[in-house]
Chains A and B, each alone.
Chain A
Amino acid sequence: MNTVAAAAPLTAQAFKSDYKPIWCPGCGDYSVLSSFTKAFAKLNLRPENVAVVSGIGCSSRIPAYTNCYGFHGVHGRSLAAAAGLKLARPDLTVVVASGDGDGYSIGGNHFLHACRRNVDLTYVVMDNHVYGMTKGQPSPTTEPDWDSKLSPGGTGLRTFNPLVIALAAGANFVARAFAGDPNGTAEIIAEAMRTPGFSFVEILSPCVTFRPEQREWKQMVRPAPVTPTEDAARAARRLMSDDGMNIGVLFKGDRKPYQPPIGKGKKHPSDLEAEFAL
């Protein structure tokens, strides 16, 4: 694909592919897809300059539904693939899509180190507190007392607090959004993409099939009553005491993104082959 100089801005619709999503009717991920495309249009991006990378799960189907480069990767490894892509092609805008199972359980380790490395990525996690694609198992963010056939009486396990963990691990931008507010979410994603370094956006995205009670989230979310802070410790304290329903940008740092120089020490593939030959 070639970049057209001074091309007319694209609409959000132009970033949608011809594939129709197969999510359940009512799933929050439809709105998140809409927020992705609105954010891309808002930032005047071109499809040939954007890559959407994902792992496995309902939310990870997003690359197929966006009209730009896409990579539907291995379970929990979306961040590894995305970091490799961004380091090799710093000119690309790389957005990573994940869910609470893919991102916090199987991909938990990559999450920590992606925050620490601070590669210039935007990591969007659609959190519905359940493994939806595999029919409703508890995920790391599932409430300990969520009773279901697959977790009778609940797991009894403390929930994972991804935003606090992201702060502790060094993420440069932390926000929470709600799928039921696609325009507000698009603004938050755009802000995350504008911010250099590793930006983490958690989106509360209801799973109406396995967690129908999450339909009530639209009555429960509210704009965060505080302005974003540059102090990670302060942001973490706020997050430790909120009920998980405060929406907005919560932390914005100024760490320099990790980007090794491109081309230095570049070796020909045959040299590498010789170096790693067994």
Chain B
Amino acid sequence: MSTKKSSKKVSKSSGKTRAKPAAKKTAVKAKRTAAPKRVAAKAAGKTAAKAVVKSAAEFMAHAYAMEAEAAERYAEFADSMEVHNNREVAELFRKLSRIEQRHADQIMEQMGWKQSPATAADVRWEGAEGPETADPTELHYLMQPYHALQIALHNEKRARDFFAHLAKATKDVGVRQGALEMEEEEAEHVRLIEEWLKRTPKPDANWQADPDPPVLSD
């Protein structure tokens, strides 16, 4: 997993750089000016978060935890696929992990944090894990890149909905601006992954067929 810090955003699909979003700067500024307010952020359905975000800085700590946890999970998926010799999918998950980690590093850099403000374990979500963290039970040793992208798409949508709800729920100006910015970013990621999916071959109906299956109990 890359730990290199970058000051520029990297597109999910192409790795192209783009300018740092302005609203994040606003969020950083708001960290210094906004009075802490207790805002319960409950998003819709399974993407809900129990996050109690009091300030822009706390909001960014949540965003950091979310990105870092997603990066860690994708790295685990990549390891798992590598061990099972599914190299194409392993490479894809590794790429997704690097992208999420880069986002986490960017938050660190923007906030001027020298060390992680929070780990995923410090943040309480409404569900068991953060809205961008992939569900491990979705993996299959014969899965194809299309499946991996579907997992990523699902997570990006959850992240987008999470930030959209947070933007609506908060009364803190800095938190709202930061959340709207992140919502837009996640929405862009959704679009990029949808495009990526269009270019990726769909698996055939028998993709799970294994001539030498491990399961004796079927």
Contact = CB atoms under 8 A, between A and B. Distances in A.
Contact of A149 (B80, B81, B119, B217): B217
Contacts of A218: 128, 135, 137
B129 A183 contact: yes
B84 A25 contact: yes
A183 B128 contact: yes
Contact of A20 (B82, B116, B214): B82
A209 B121 contact: no
B215 A136 contact: yes
Given A181-B129, A218-B135, A26 B140 contact: yes
Interface in B124-144: 128-129, 135-141, 143
Interface string A1-44: 00000000001110000001111111110110010001001100
A180 interface: yes
Nearest to A35: B121
Interface in B98-136: 116, 119-121, 128-129, 135-136
Contacts of B129: 181-183
A208 B121 contact: no
Interface string B66-101: 000000100011011111100000000000000000
Nearest to B75: A13
B218 interface: yes
Contact of B83 (A22, A150, A180, A215): A22
B83 A183 contact: no
A267 interface: no
Given A34-B76, A184-B128, A186-B121, A148 B217 contact: yes
A185 to B, nearest CB: 9
A187 B77 CA distance: 23
Contact of B216 (A13, A25, A136, A186): A136
Query: In which size bucket is the chain A interface?
Result: 35 or more
A12 B141 CA distance: 26
B119 A38 contact: yes
B140 A135 contact: no
Given A31-B136, A183-B120, A136 B83 contact: no
Contact of A26 (B72, B121, B137, B218): B137
A27 B76 CA distance: 11
Contacts of A136: 215-217
A38 B121 CA distance: 8
A218 B139 CA distance: 15
A22 B76 CA distance: 11
A11 B83 CA distance: 24
A25 B82 CA distance: 10
Nearest to B128: A181
Query: Which 10 residue pairs are nearest across A and B when measured between Cβ atoms?
Result: A148-B217, A25-B139, A181-B128, A26-B139, A20-B79, A215-B137, A136-B217, A183-B121, A25-B80, A26-B137
Interface of A: 11-13, 20-28, 30-31, 34, 38, 41-42, 135-136, 148-150, 178, 180-184, 186-187, 206, 208-210, 215, 218
18 contacts: A20-B80, A22-B83, A24-B84, A24-B141, A25-B77, A25-B80, A25-B143, A26-B136, A27-B136, A28-B136, A30-B76, A34-B72, A149-B217, A149-B218, A180-B128, A183-B128, A186-B121, A218-B135
